[in-house]
Structure 1
C-alpha cells in the first residue's frame, strides 16, 4: 500500500510519541536472560523486507546481515533462534508488547528511541543518503524542492528526509524498503532516501530492467546500529553487549558486515572488541 504525504516535520515526533504512550500503557514484559536460557530460544524481531539487512533468498530462506548477526549471537548464547518477522514501523512496538526479546533490524540508536528502549553498544553502522540517477541535478537538500522522494515509512531515512527536505518536497512513504524499491524499478520515481547498501540492492534491480543506477547525491547522516532491548532488562542487555564485544574481537561481526555491505565496520565499532 502506497501513501503519499506532503512534508510533515512533526511525523517522526508523533510516531515516537505514540511509541512512548504505548510503553507507558503496556509496560514491557520481554523475557529476561534467565527465561531465554530456560526456554532455550531467543526471539529476534527482524524486518525481512530491508535488504541487505533482512530478506529472503530464492528458496525463501531468511538471510541478510541482521539475520546472520542474530544467528551468530543465538549460537553463542547456546539457544535456538526464532526470527519474528516485523516491519520498520513495528520494530519497537514488537519489543514493547513482548512479541520479541530483542530487535536486530537496522535500528539506529537515537535519543528519542532511547527514551523508550535500551540499546546495546553498536554492532554495525548505517548511512542515510539521498540517491538519484547521475543526470538528476541534486547537490544539496534544497535541490529536492518540487521533486518526489521515495522512502520506507518509520525508518531513520524517513525521519531524516522529513526533517531536512525543503518545503515543496513530495515524500512518498511505503510500508518497507522492498515495496519502495519496487516502485522505483517500475518507474514511479527515481529519487530514494535510504542506506547505501539498500541503494546497491536497488541498483541490481534497475540494471536487470535496463535502467540507470542511482548514485549518492547527499549524505544526510551516519548512524550507529544497536540491538534494542526492553527497559528494566539489564541482564539480557549486558549479555548482548558481552556477545557483541566477543564477536567483534573474533572478527565474526566484521566478516558478516563485509559480506553484505562490501566494506569493513567503522573503526570506532571494531574498537569495542579490543
Structure 2
C-alpha cells in the first residue's frame, strides 16, 4: 500500500500541475490509498458526477443526478453492496474534488488524456464521446483553418477546450465558460459563432432552435472516458477495471448506453 507521505507528495505535485497547490490548505489533507474494503466498511461510495452534460450527466424531475453516468455509478455501488452517494461536480473542479478527498472516485464523463493520466488513475474506458465543432449554418467553417477570426466557445477545462485550443490557428477568439450549459447559451444568444461540444450537446441545442440554425462543422475528436481514482490506488483501480470488464462482457453497460444515447456502446481500447 502507498504510504501516506508518498501519496501526499504525489497529490501535491498533481495539484500543482493543475495550478491548485493552495487547495491543500483549504481542503482536508489527502488520505492514504483507499480500498474496496474501506468503502464496504463505510457502507457507501461517494462518486463525483457532472450534471450538466446530458445524456451522460443530468438531473431528473426531483433534481436528482441522472443519466448514463448516474446509472453506471449506481450499478457499481450495487455490485459492491453499498449506497451510492452522488456528488455533483463541474468540469473545472472534478479532478480537484477527487484529489482533495471530497469524493472516492469520479464517474464524470472524464476523457482519458495523457495530461490527465499524470494527475489521476484511470480505469479502462466505460464510455466515449464524439466532440464536434458546432456552429451557425451561415458561418463559413469547414476545417480548423477556418476558425481564424471566429468566436469559439468551450466549457473551461473540458475535452473540447483542449481539442479546440490544439486545433485553432492564431487569431481564433476562444471564449471559455464555466460549463456546457453556459457555452450552449452563448451560442444560442449569438455571443459566439460556434462551440466545441459533444454530439449529444449539439442534439440538445438543435431541439431548442429553428431547423437549420446550427450544424456540425467538423469532428474534433472521439474521446474514450474512464472512471478516475486518486494516484496510487492500485487495488481500487483493479476492482473498477473488473467492474467495467464484467459489465461490458455481460451487456449491462451496453443496455445503459442504449437507454441514454440510443446507440450501442462503442468498442473501446
TM-score, structure 2 as length reference: 0.86
**Within the alignment, does 1:191 sit opposite 2:181 as a pair?**
no
Deviation of residue 32 (structure 1)?
A: 2.5
| 51 and 19 in structure 1: CA distance in 2 versus 1, 3 angstrom threshold | farther
Deviation of residue 157 (structure 1)?
A: 0.3
Q: Please show how residues 158-169 of structure 1 align to structure 2 within 5 Å.
A: 158-169=161-172
Cα deviation, 1:104-152, whole Å, max 9, x if unaligned, reads 1110111111111110000011122111233322110011111111110
Provide the C-alpha distance between the structure 1 equivalents of 2:31 and 2:139, rounded to a whole number of angstroms: 46
Provide the C-alpha distance between the structure 2 equivalents of 1:135 and 1:126, rounded to a whole number of angstroms: 26
Q: Which residue of 2 aligns with 1:10?
A: none
Deviation of residue 203 (structure 1)?
A: 1.6
User: Which shifted more, 193-202 or 22-31?
Assistant: 22-31
Structure 2 portions without partners, runs of 5+: 1-14
**Within the alignment, does 1:101 sit opposite 2:135 as a pair?**
no
TM-score, structure 1 as length reference: 0.85
Task: Answer yes or no: is the 8 Å Cα contact 2:43–2:82 preserved in 1.
Answer: yes
Runs (4 or more) in structure 1 with deviation over 6 Å come to 22-25
Task: Answer yes or no: is the 8 Å Cα contact 1:118–1:228 preserved in 2.
Answer: yes
Task: Answer yes or no: is the 8 Å Cα contact 2:33–2:232 preserved in 1.
Answer: no
**Within the alignment, does 1:129 sit opposite 2:135 as a pair?**
no
Q: Which residue of 2 aligns with 1:18?
A: 18
Q: Which residue of 1 aligns with 2:156?
A: 153
RMSD across aligned C-alpha pairs, in angstroms?
Answer: 2.3
Task: Answer yes or no: is the 8 Å Cα contact 1:128–1:222 preserved in 2.
Answer: yes
Provide the C-alpha distance between the structure 1 equivalents of 2:252 and 2:208, rounded to a whole number of angstroms: 29
Q: Please show how residues 78-93 of structure 1 align to structure 2 within 5 Å.
A: 78-93=81-96
